[in-house]
Amino acid sequence: MRDDERTELDDRMMASAIECAREAEGHGDVPIGAVIVRDGKILAAAGNERELRADPTAHAEILAIRAAAEALGGWRLPGTTLYVTLEPCAMCAGGIVLARIPTVVFGAPDPKAGAAGSVLDVLAEPALNHRPAVRGGVLEAECAALLRDFFAARRSGEGGIRTHEAG
Ligand SMILES: [Zn+2]
């Protein structure tokens, strides 16, 4: 992204998403975190809980979308921005479209599963009835390092036990 598009709010909110990612790592989940912001305030925050809940759909974005909908009292999330440390997958991008979230900001791209342009581009699909504005690369180095360190530690610590995909 261009430097002049990046704001102090983006950096601050992505730092909060990184905190959620660290919490996820604390319970053995792949470190991915998300926050949903409206009027400069955090409405909802969540880390990936796939392992914790033994739920393949318990991605950070989905958990944050559910919490934000509860906070706002409706399924639409107008005026919000979703910050997530890793480019959303197809499921989460679908959830973002369904919730009509106006703006998505992500940290690191996901060349294996990203659905904001890397593998698919669900968020820019002209046939869908909602297309959020998308910015990538906010605190990208920090977001990517979390994942890299997590998988490196797992490989060295568990003697080659399976490493499955992020997100
Ligand atoms: Zn996802």
pLDDT given for residue 97 in this prediction: 98
Is it the case that residue 44 has pLDDT exceeding 60? yes
Identify residue 163 by its one-letter amino acid code.
T
Would strands 41-47 and 33-38 be described as parallel, antiparallel, or unpaired? antiparallel
What's the CA-to-centroid distance between 132 and ligand 1, angstroms? 16
What's the CA-to-centroid distance between 5 and ligand 1, angstroms? 25
Per-residue confidence band for 6, with pLDDT thresholds at 50, 70 and 90: low
Are 67 and 57 a contacting pair, CB within 8 Å? no
Q: What is the mean pLDDT of the chain?
A: 93
What's the CA-to-centroid distance between 89 and ligand 1, angstroms? 4
Alpha-carbon span 161 to 122, nearest angstrom? 32
Give the HSE-up count for residue 80: Cα atoms under 13 Å, Cβ half-sphere: 26
Tell me the per-residue pLDDT of 61-75, one tens digit each, with 9 for 90 and over.
999 999 999 999 999
- The percent of residues above 70 in pLDDT, for the chain, comes to 90
pLDDT given for residue 7 in this prediction: 85
Q: By three-state DSSP, how is residue 53 classified?
A: helix
State the pTM of this model. 0.91
Tell me the per-residue pLDDT of 137-167, one tens digit each, with 9 for 90 and over.
999 999 999 999 999 999 987 654 455 555 5
Question: Which amino acids are annotated catalytic?
Answer: 61
Across the range 77-105, mean pLDDT stands at 98
Per-residue confidence band for 108, with pLDDT thresholds at 50, 70 and 90: very high
